[in-house]
Structure 1
Amino acid sequence: MSTTTPGRSVSTSSNSAANTAGASTKTRGGGGAGLSTLALAMMNVTIIAGLANDVQQSFYGLSSVTFFLLGGLLFFLPTGLVAAELASGWSQRGGIFRWVGEGIGVFPALSCLLILWFQTTFTFGSGIPSMSATIGFFTTNYDWAVDFAKNSHSWKVTLPIMIGWLAYYWFCCFLATQGVKTFSKIAQYGVILGTFLPLGVMTILAVVWLCQGHTPAIALTPSGLVPKWEGMSTLALAAGVFFSFSGIDMNAAHIKDLKKPNRQFPLAIFISMILVLLIFIVGTLIIAIVIPNNQINLLYTLFATYRALGATIGFPDLYLVFCWLGMLNSFAALITNLAGPSYMLGQAGRSGFLPKFLQNNNKHGMPSRLMYTQMALMTLIAFIVFLLPNVEGFVALITQAITILYLTYYVMMFVAFLRLRYQQPNRPRGFKVPGGMFGAWLVAGIGIIASVFGIVLAFYPPAQLEKEVGSGITYDLIIIGLLAFVFIACIVIYRASRKHNWADPTNQFAPFTWQIEGMAKPGKALSNIPTAMLSEDQNPMGLPIKRHYDPNGMLRDLPTGKDPFQGTAAAELLKKHGITEPSEPSKVALVGDPTVGVKTLAYQPRPVHTNAEGNMLPMPSAASIDASPVPQSEQQALADAKNARHDARAYHDMAQALNQQAKDDIALAEAIHRVQVDEAQAKEASDGAAESKAEGSNKQSK
């Protein structure tokens, strides 16, 4: 996130915000927010990468390229591919909660969200004191800034600075409560100005630095790409490489804010993967080339790199410019990360997993109380870390604990992905990991092994930070204590939710497919009905299922692997053949009841036809629908649809003509009536005049 924080552990872990109930208007495949592919890709980059992250990996020198490439192939790529498939097949709100809940169960799903929420809280809370230590780099007094960052100072000096940073964090939290449109734009421009612009300038100046005859701090030879084995403790910091790549799946919560989610989401993932690798590899190499290994410090090495490169053009204070530009990236990442975990947890919480007090959504669709609660806990952690004698050591330690939490989270995602391949093999997915089941096992298996390897490594104290983290026993005990706290919290919150009726009947969280299909837990279902169609018009999660489906019920003529966000098979067939989609009622009228060919336990036909005045007419009975022939092929279905549309137009024209004729008849009848009234009035007037004349004549004769 920020160039003023000591790396991924303090700066960027966690995820972006997601859509909430009511945050966007419902459309067929997306939301009303209309989030662009570029904006989503930049939000991914904001979550994952930052130049401050490169400092920690620069310890490895040229071999960091090997570590990043291995991390990309063994963790980043599997994570991106699996997240793309899961998001395209199970697109309802929830992201990782929905995917793990569909594949494994409710408790693991809730645990994923709580792990995410707590690890973000630990990450940002412990990073605030570190940011306070770098305050001097916002001035031109570089030597004083380094001294201030390296040495302990009186709390009378540092406490006001940290309170200032806390005020900044609270302001960012407030902005995050203003909705996805606010922080998506901030993230897009923040990462460009705060990361890509400095990286581009660093690259140019690094070439100038080398051309001026400076000696690189590392040997730029092919042999340098091979990591040096110095025992397990040296590899422990390499676990941070996997953690650096975490978060690519988190913006799946934005799936409803995309116009074409099954296309845009995978594309945004792959764009962001390329950009992230570029930031990591290029930035890390430049730092390793300019700064000797024994001078690397997590707090201020990035500024030292800026200063050394700026001196090549006679502007050593360049670090000050990039420090302030880094604040833009920090601003973007902080807002995005503060919104994400609470947003996703708030969505699930309204389905009965959080107390009602924390379930509120403000007018922007954001769970503001939950977000402010998280910010309050971050503030508490910041003060706890502030009182510790060794800030950098605790930050390194908490980094490893967070790494274990996050990699555990990904193990559950990979396991859920494999189970869904077996349990719901026919469920339509807009994107599938290539290679069939072999490809699925290869990708998920590599991801699981890499995650478990990273978890094991995280229990070894990093050799480069031996002085800061203390003895191995103390190191592991503190990590185990942090992990135990999070897992116990998961159990307590879940058990409490089972004992209380916290479900909000107005929440927009769809039930899991296995709940809709009448199962008590995830199980085998051969159905090919899209998840969006299963959840259409159902009660929200936490309430009784309104209409159950058969787990093995099938839709006929449904093109597998196409757009799973359509609500009906009719729309699938029309779209496949390039026919402009009519309104939702017309889809049913053209092709028939969407449940034709679907075995359901209880289906109540709904009124979908309307007449010219907009009045609803009842659906045909289920018996008449069952008696109707079903097209045997897509071509026949297409022909029937075209004929039905032609007949519908003819009937529509006829109805319009009859309607006009009826209007003309009414007008004619009214005109005749008016003439008759006028004639009657004229006759009465004439008769009255004749009577008056006769009476006058009689009087005269008398």
Structure 2
Amino acid sequence: MIRRERQRHMSNATHGASGGSTAAGKAPTTQGKAGAGSGKLTTLALVMMNVTVLAGLANDVQQSFYGLTSVTYFLIGGLLFFLPTGLVAAELASGWGQRGGIFRWVGEGIGVFPAISCLLILWFQTTFTFGSGIPSMSATIGFFTTKYDWAVDFAKNSHSWKITLPIMIGWLAYYWFCCWLATKGVKTFSKVAQYGVILGTFLPLAVITILAVVYICQGNPIQTDMAPSALIPKWGGMSTLALAAGVFFSFAGIDMNAAHIKDLKKPNKQYPVAIFISMILTLLIFIVGTVIIAMVIPNKQINLLYTLFSTYRTLGATIGFPDLYLVFCWLGMLNSFAALITNLAGPSYMLGQAGRSGFLPKALQNNNKHGMPSRLMYTQMAVMTVIAFIVFFLPNVEGFVALITQAITILYLSYYVLMFVAFLRLRYTQPNRPRGFRVPGGKAGAWIVAGIGILASVFGIVLAFYPPAQLKAEVGSGATYDIIIIALLAFVVLACVWIYRASRKHKDWVDPSNQFAPFTWQIEGLKKPSLALSNIPSALVSAGQDPMGMPIKHPYGKDEMINLPDPKKDPNGQAEAAAALLAKHGITEPSDPKNVALVGDPTAGVKTLAYAPAPVHTDDDGNALPTPSDADIAAAPVPTDALAAAKRAMAEAKLVQADSIAMQNEAQALNNAARDDQELAKAVRRVQVDEAQAAEAAKAAGTTVGSTGSAADGTATKQ
């Protein structure tokens, strides 16, 4: 398992064919169109970002050592970890699609401290994994040239730090460039991820698949047992369990890009679809790539650093082009861009968003013009740089990196345990909350899926405390190994506790313009996640609210219900119901029924209220009269019989608008009500305005106006 983790973060920036690390880093307020996203991100782009995080041909090298057996492990891992994780993430995203991803889901189900801890764990995980892996990348620099034999020799042997240090500094510069590019916003790095994974992973996979057929047809020897019996795993003690766990958690990170869920146009529909497409493509990359490598490279010659290049070279030789490895090495840089940018942006993006809700000091809360927390991202890159130099100058690099990797693996799997627990709790604490997608099977199905995921995660956590045989020389006894692991875990846990407690004391850390909606249980007046029977979609509850950390603007009852018609039968009904509920809670945002998108997303068409303009007074020819000043209105004479004039003015105003006898009756009722003192005062004011308008009109015509004060009709005559 350690070797797999080590290989993943090394391969991200060396040959660039990797899909990312196990550290699947993990996305003005929520007012307005609460259920719809910005549309910056397409479903295809999200799929490619997911695949970038999860899969890559370099990740297949480790499992190719086990030949056809690894296919079985991939399938088992897909069923026991990947599928539960994808199903649960899809339901959580479709029910609680506001910004936050894992922070939102765990916070809704368990509470605030576990939620912010998840984000901090992911941030530390990415920082340590990528930082400790940077020094190793200098070993593969030779594969960017045509000197293959020299490149192999350079990768195998130790070299003077005077040679490798400048190379490492070059890779650090590359990392800093990727970090800078990630700060340019989701539209920029989603395009990089989309094209990077296509050119850096899918194109090489398609080519080597074709060349593998050519290789077999030419009669070249197949280096692994391809008999069906080879699919059955053979028990080899704890190493077998380590392999199983390593394969299981090759799939970790499917939830990472939930950070960008609000960048989808229709998140409740697009996110689940993207999850399942990503799962299929990831399995394809893992299985096909692993089998091809095992077929071409003899088991004893498999090396984590350069076996993928050897595969490219061997297959390229079948068509007389052994330097094919060089083409894919440089193409892989595009995938390296994708992997680095996605992982560098994800954790900081989500932590930065949550941090502005009061969980980070003000100094780390900036958002640049692209909506990215650039200061936090550069801070992460600076810490990674420090770690890279520490690792580079340590005498026992392998042991140090392995211990960090195992500690972070434990934290990362604990993160998934929290996600599964939150999912189960939400089935009971918010049972009626609409979800665009539900894990099938009701509560029984939810328990089976989440239970399998929890058991798989706990299995990996327990296994991580077992010191691998190949590291005994580096870490000493098993007790020493576990003590160091526990110390590293304690550091991260204490950091989470300290940051959370500090945020509780510093209420001024809250940015009133942050983009995080409050948790639904906060809006419903609960002090912590508790039973709430409301069936109002979370997007609707969040609409019109002030951001997280601010007082609740529009409280909802925890058991408040709403009638949401089936959009298939009544496509306008959801928008109308949403608008009525918003109006009930004092949120003046009428709905546009034709824009309603889907079940659980009734506010997709909610827009800002456009108030009717003030009436314009005109003369008999329809020309607008000048608007009198307040002084003119106050100086206007009042008719002798103000009550009669008020009656007439109010009745005529209503009669002009009336289209039926009912409206005329209502106008007459208003006439009678004018006797009330309050109505009289309003009528007097209206007459003053009319007199002032008349005076302005007369001035414009060059005449004077006087008031006769006629008791009969209150009209004015020219003198």
Bin of the TM-score, shorter chain as denominator length:
0.7 to 0.9
8 Å CA contact 2:579–2:591 kept in 1: the answer is: no
Residue of structure 1 aligned with 2:152, choices 121, 146, 164:
146
Q: Cα distance 1:676–1:223, how it changes in 2: closer, same or farther (>3 A)?
A: closer
Partner of 2:21: 12
2:635 corresponds to which residue?
none
Residue 102, structure 1, aligned to residue 111, structure 2: no
Looking at structure 2, the residues matched to 545 and 273 of structure 1 have their Cα atoms a distance apart, in angstroms, of 39
Matched, 1:585 2:594: no
2:38 to 32, 47, 53: 32
CA offset digits 1:26-55 (Å, max 9, x no partner)? 645333343111111111101111111111
SS in structure 2 of the partner of residue 525 of structure 1: coil
Inter-CA distance 444–310: structure 2 relative to 1 (3 Å threshold): same
Tell me how far apart the structure 1 counterparts of residues 112 and 529 of structure 2 sit (CA, whole Å). Answer: 9
Partner residue in 2 for 1:570: 577
Q: Which residue of 1 aligns with 2:546?
A: 539
Residue identity in the other structure for 2:547: P
Instruction: Report how far residue 215 of structure 1 moved.
Output: 2.2
Are the structure 2 counterparts of residues 5 and 208 from structure 1 closer, same or farther at C-alpha, using a change threshold of 3 Å?
same
1: distance between equivalents of 2:22 and 2:123? Answer: 11
Residues 499-556 of structure 1: CA deviation (Å, up to 9, x unaligned): 2121111112111111111111110000111112212222211122223221111113
1:90 corresponds to: 96
- Per the alignment, residue 163 of structure 1 pairs with 169
Q: 1:434 to 1:105 in 2, by over 3 A?
A: same
Equivalent position of 1:360 in the other structure: 366
| Structure 1 pair 400–55 and aligned structure 2 pair: CA distance change class (3 A) | farther
Query: What is the aligned partner in structure 2 of residue 262 from structure 1?
Result: 268
**What is the distance in 1 between the residues matched to 2:135 and 2:168?**
6
Q: Which residue is equivalent to 1:130?
A: 136
Judged with a 3 Å threshold, the aligned counterparts in structure 2 of structure 1 residues 613 and 415 are, in CA distance, closer, same or farther, namely: same
Partner-residue secondary structure (3-state), 1:238: helix
Give the Å deviation of 1:341. 0.2
- Structure 2: distance between partners of 1:357 and 1:566: 46
In structure 1, how many angstroms separate the alpha carbons of the residues matched to 2:575 and 2:357?
26
Residue 281, structure 1, aligned to residue 290, structure 2: no
Give the TM-score normalised by the residue count of structure 2: 0.78
Tell which deviates more after alignment, 30-39 or 359-368.
Answer: 30-39
Partners of 2:659 and 2:368 lie apart in 1 by: 49
TM-score normalised per structure 1: 0.79
Alignment of 1:303-452 (within 5 A): 303-389=309-395, 391-392=397-398, 394-452=400-458
Q: Secondary structure at 1:60's aligned position in 2?
A: coil
> Can you list the C-alpha shifts for 1:222-250, whole angstroms capped at 9, x where unaligned?
11111111111332133222221011111
Q: Check whether the contact 2:53–2:343 (CA below 8 A) recurs between aligned residues.
A: yes
- Mean Cα deviation higher: 363-372 or 479-488: 479-488
Letter in 1 for 2:23: S
Query: Greater shift after overlay, 173-182 or 552-561?
Result: 552-561
Structure 2 residue aligned with 1:486, among 489, 492, 498? 492
Aligned-residue offset at 1:10: 10
Cα distance change, pair 77–649 in 1 and its aligned pair in 2 (3 A)? farther
Equivalence for 1:224 = 230
User: Taking structure 1 as reference, are residues 349 and 380 closer, same or farther at Cα in structure 2, changes over 3 Å only?
Assistant: same
Q: Are the aligned partners of 2:17 and 2:57 in contact in 1 as well (CA < 8 Å)?
A: no
The separation in 1 between residues aligned to 2:271 and 2:451, in whole angstroms, is 23
In the superposition, relative to structure 1, how do residues 31 and 608 fare at CA in structure 2: closer, same or farther (>3 Å)? closer
Distance 1:566 1:103 in 2: 30
Q: CA 1:42–1:676 in structure 2 vs 1: closer, same or farther (change >3 Å)?
A: closer
- Cα pair 2:18 2:57 within 8 Å, conserved: no
Q: CA shift at 1:210, angstroms?
A: 2.1
8 Å CA contact retained: 1:529, 1:555:
yes
Cα distance change of structure 1 residues 408 and 460 upon mapping to structure 2, 3 Å threshold: same
Cα 1:566–1:48 change in 2 (3 A) is: farther
Q: CA deviation at 1:477?
A: 3.5
For residue 674 of structure 1, report the CA deviation from its aligned partner: 11
Q: Deviations over 1:446-505 (max 9, x none)?
A: 111111112222223445777777654444343333222211211111111112121111
Question: CA 1:211–1:108 in structure 2 vs 1: closer, same or farther (change >3 Å)?
Answer: same
Measure how far apart 1:8 and its partner are: 11
Q: How many Å separate the matches in 2 of 1:470 and 1:317? A: 43
Q: In the alignment, does 2:67 pair up with 1:66?
A: no
The one-letter amino acid of 1:206's match is A
Q: Determine the C-alpha separation between the residues in 2 that align with 1:565 and 1:94.
A: 29
Consecutive unaligned residues of structure 1, counting only runs of 5 or more, are: 575-582, 589-605, 616-647, 655-668, 679-702
**1:579-615 Cα deviation digits (max 9, x unpaired):** xxxx953669xxxxxxxxxxxxxxxxx9968335599
Q: Does 1:504 align with 2:504?
A: no
CA distance in 2, matches of 1:524, 1:46: 38
In 2, the alpha carbon distance for the partners of 1:274 and 1:564 equals 33
Equivalent AA in structure 1 for residue 325 of structure 2? Y
Q: Is the 8 A contact 1:34 1:258 kept in 2?
A: yes
Taking the aligned partners of 2:236 and 2:411, their CA distance within structure 1 comes to 26
SS of the residue corresponding to residue 432 of structure 2 reads coil
Give the deviation of 1:413 after TM superposition: 0.3
Give the direction of change, closer, same or farther, for the CA distance of 1:73–1:449 in structure 2 (3 Å limit).
same
Distance 2:248 2:16 in 1: 13
Query: 2:709 maps to what in 1?
Result: none
SS in 2 for 1:132: helix
Query: Do the aligned residues in 2 keep the contact of 1:510 with 1:541 (CA within 8 Å)?
Result: yes
Identify the residue that residue 50 of structure 1 maps to in structure 2: 56
1:516 is matched with 523
Q: How far, CA to CA, are the matches of 1:611 and 1:34 in structure 2? A: 33
Could you say what secondary structure the match of 1:13 adopts? coil
Distance 1:564 1:305, change over 3 A: farther
Checking the alignment, whether the CA contact within 8 Å between 1:88 and 1:564 is kept in structure 2 is no
In structure 2, the partner of 1:528 is: 535
Corresponding letter in the other structure for 2:533 = L
Partners in 2 of 1:37 and 1:373 — Cα distance?
Answer: 30
Query: Quick check: 1:292 aligned with 2:304?
Result: no
Following the alignment from structure 1 to structure 2, what is the Cα–Cα distance between the partners of residues 248 and 117?
A: 16
* Contact preservation (8 Å) 2:19, 2:51: no
In structure 2, the residue corresponding to 1:237 is in which secondary structure?
helix
The corresponding residue for 1:189 is: 195
Kindly tell me: are residues 146 and 259 of structure 1, through their superposed partners in 2, closer, same or farther at Cα, counting changes over 3 Å? same
Distance 1:649 1:160, change over 3 A: farther
* Residue-by-residue CA offset, 1:180-226 (whole Å, 9 max, x unaligned): 00000000000000000111111111222222222222110111111
In 2 relative to 1, CA 162–327 (structure 1 residues): closer, same or farther, beyond 3 Å?
Answer: same
User: What residue in structure 2 maps to residue 242 of structure 1?
Assistant: 248
C-alpha distance in 1 between matches for 2:499 and 2:347: 16
Partner of 1:610: 611
Distance of aligned partners of 1:369 and 1:674 in 2 relative to their CA distance in 1, 3 Å threshold = closer
Residue 374 (structure 1) shift: 0.4
Query: Contact 1:28–1:565 at 8 Å: present in 2 too?
Result: no
Aligned-partner Cα distance in 1 for 2:573–2:92: 17
Q: Distance in 2 between matches of 1:439 and 1:25?
A: 35
Moved more, 173-182 or 390-399: 390-399
Q: Secondary structure at the match of 2:65?
A: helix
**Partner of residue 559 from structure 2, selected from 538, 552, 557:** 552
Question: Matched residues in 2 for 1:398 and 1:383: separation?
Answer: 15
The answer as to whether partners of 1:3 and 1:302 remain within 8 angstroms in 2 is: no
